[in-house]
Structure 1
Amino acid sequence: MTEPRRDVFQAIADPTRRGILMLLATQAMTPNALAEQFETSRQAVSKHINILQECGLVKAEQSGREIHYSLEVTKMKEVDAFLEPFRKLWANRFDQLDDLLSNL
């Protein structure tokens, strides 16, 4: 039986995968270059990359003998769209807190 397809939020729930996304936000990287950034095995990082690919957050591009992974920005917009109502709520609450503190 195959493992069910994960969604974006399952992918970003793991701190290592969030770290990989942060690294890929600045530049495309090979699996070895990514693995060097973490205190874990190359195989463990590869599993994280596979999950990120499965969720559409990372894309692979073959360049000769190397594979470079990069962030799939359009998929990250899904996360941003989900968080937008919360940002408005937080901003409103912080404004209320500022008003309360000003009145004290």
Structure 2
Amino acid sequence: MKRKPHSDGDCGACAFRRAILSLLVSSEQSVGEIERRLRIPQPTVSKHLRVLREAGFVEATVDAQHRLYRLRPEPFQEVDAWLAPFRRFWSRHVDALERHLDRLDQLPPPSKKTRRKR
């Protein structure tokens, strides 16, 4: 994964960057489209796109007078591969919890004890 250190922290750590990445999942977008959809100023959009581009998460093509940004799949494939063992770990634990809850559902309800007045 092509990564450069950046003073603002990691690419996934910023809410704006995550929002931009979420927009780019569905289609490529221009800076203006991202600005309008997220309602954040153009310089802020450009700054975060630059960080994402330098980190290798997005790429841009020039279309007339606009740059169109889109996701690069490779870094996300690397993240997905890295997360695979964690998914297996949590899947086993969630499955065990589900089995335990199923067993609890099969137990008879606890008897209601009535208190005697003294």
- The TM-score normalised by the length of structure 1 is 0.87
Confirm whether residue 102 of structure 1 aligns to residue 99 of structure 2: no
Question: Alpha-carbon deviations, 1:61-103, whole Å to 9, x = none?
Answer: 0112111000101121111112111111110010010111112
Structure 1 equivalent of residue 10 of structure 2: 10
Q: Runs in 1 of length 4+ with deviation above 3 angstroms?
A: none
Query: 1:39-78 alignment to 2 at 5 Å?
Result: 39-78=39-78
Q: In 1, Cα distance between the equivalents of 2:28 and 2:5?
A: 23
Q: Distance in 1 between matches of 2:14 and 2:81?
A: 20
Q: TM-score, normalised by structure 2?
A: 0.78
Q: Matched residue pairs, number? A: 100
- Whichever residue aligns with residue 74 of structure 2, its letter is T
Report the Cα offset of residue 15 of structure 1: 1.6
SS in 2 for 1:6: coil
Post-superposition shift, 1:39?
3.2
Q: For residue 90 of structure 1, what is the aligned residue in structure 2?
A: 90
Deviations 1:34-75 (A, max 9, x none): 011223211111111011001100001011211100010112
Shift of 1:6: 3.1
In structure 2, runs of 5+ residues without a counterpart are 105-118
Where 2:28 maps in the other structure, the secondary structure is coil
Match of 1:27 in 2: 27
Provide the rounded CA distance (Å) in 1 between the counterparts of 2:5 and 2:54: 7
Please give the root-mean-square deviation of Cα atoms over the aligned residues, in Å.
1.8
Could you give the per-residue CA deviations for residues 13-41 of structure 1, whole angstroms, max 9, x where no partner exists?
Answer: 11211111111111111001001122321
CA distance in 2, matches of 1:102, 1:64: 60
Larger radius of gyration: 2
